[in-house]
Structure 1
Amino acid sequence: MSDMHRAERSAALDPRDPWVIDTKDLGRRAGSSRTVRRQLPVPEPLGVSGVIEVPAGAEFTLDALLEAVVEGVLVSGEATAPIEGACSRCLDPIAEEVSVRFTELFAYPDSATEETTEEDEVSRLVDDLVDLEPMVRDAAVLALPQVPLCAPDCQGLCADCGIKWADLEPRHGHEKIDPRWAALVERFGEPGSDTPPAEGDRQ
């Protein structure tokens, strides 16, 4: 998520946004807590398009615990979403899930934490609201595999014919011809074969 997008969200948090949680009921009473379970929509693809991503229109399933502490509200839990992509070895489609765990302190205004840290170091409460989108999205991006595979032992494709090794016979192979003999093979055919030379090669 870009810094500009973060700033825009922080400046205009909407309590109706499913990514935004109102913590007013915790009352700044250290030790008070409550759980939250929500479906969080993904309006734009998250990840690397065509490689691996949480697709637009998907949802994160959020299970979180909100705890009031001296310096703010501590949010911890887990978020899970479907991911789609292609195997980096055989190009088969991948349809799996990404699951991330997180713990984030949202500092109270005028708290010691808020006063002694830069804005990008610690998240802030805005009118008792916490915005989970930056935290969950950033964690999910880091959790996406850099080299997505359909299976850990995927052997990929045959470099000569482009067919998946898993679909080929165990003894599958392609005879390699020394390039120095390639012109003779093309002109006269394989030694011992009945294949006649090409029409243009006949004299």
Structure 2
Amino acid sequence: MEGVLVTGTATAELEGECARCLEPISDPTEVTFQELFVYEDRDYSSEEDDGVSKLEGDLVDLEPLLRDAVVLALPFQPLCMEDCPGLCVECGARLADDPDHAHEAAIDPRWAGLSALRQDEQDQD
């Protein structure tokens, strides 16, 4: 008889972007929660009072409880698909749209002058 035990399940639609390719994603999630809301007339020391949810008259405020449950259920890095390849590091193209995407090998700027000589040599032949 310490208070009211609230147990439930909540569903929510999560919206965001993929952590790898930045495509918008939308996923349903379901969370369960359980919390004891104690009566206000109970005597608790200030140390015990920090983590205790209290009834406000005859009302129970579920917003903080639901928010905490949903935030804890969020994925650390949401992905549009399990094996999302992400974006090209050079041009930013989405690799899932073009799996054969490739670039020529980058030339070290210190050797760029030599590649110009090689090009001149090929032009003369």
Q: Which of the five TM-score ranges fits, normalised by the shorter chain?
A: 0.7 to 0.9
Partner of residue 103, structure 1: 34
Structure 1 position 132 matched with structure 2 position 62: yes
Unaligned regions of 5+ residues in structure 2, if any? none
Separation in 2, partners of 1:187, 1:105:
78
Q: Percent identity?
A: 52
Shift of 1:173: 4.0
TM-score (ref. length: structure 2) = 0.80
Question: CA, structure 1 residues 190+154, in 2 after alignment: closer, same or farther (shift >3 Å)?
Answer: farther
Structure 1 residues 155, 191: CA separation in 2 closer, same or farther (over 3 Å shift)? farther
**Structure 1 counterpart of 2:115, from 159, 167, 185:** 185
Instruction: Tell me: higher relative CO, structure 1 or 2? Use CA pairs within 8 A at least 6 residues apart.
Output: 2
Match of 1:93 among 24, 28, 32: 24
Instruction: Verify the 8 A CA contact 2:86 2:94 in the aligned structure 1.
Output: yes
The alpha-carbon deviation at position 102 of structure 1 amounts to 0.5
Query: How many residues align structurally?
Result: 122
Cα 1:95/1:191, change in 2 over 3 Å: farther
Normalised to the residue count of structure 1, the TM-score between the two structures is 0.52
How big is each residue's C-alpha offset from its partner over 1:83-125, in whole Å with a ceiling of 9 and x where there is no partner?
A: 21111111111111232210000112334xx535633311111
Give, in angstroms, the shift of residue 191 of structure 1. Answer: 7.0
Cα pair 1:87 1:94 within 8 Å, conserved: yes
Aligned CA-pair RMSD: 2.5
Look up the equivalent residue of 1:102 and give its one-letter code.
Answer: F
Counterpart Cα distance in 2 of 1:175 and 1:122: 61
Higher relative strand content = 1
In the alignment, structure 1 segments of 5+ residues that lack a partner are 1-69, 195-203
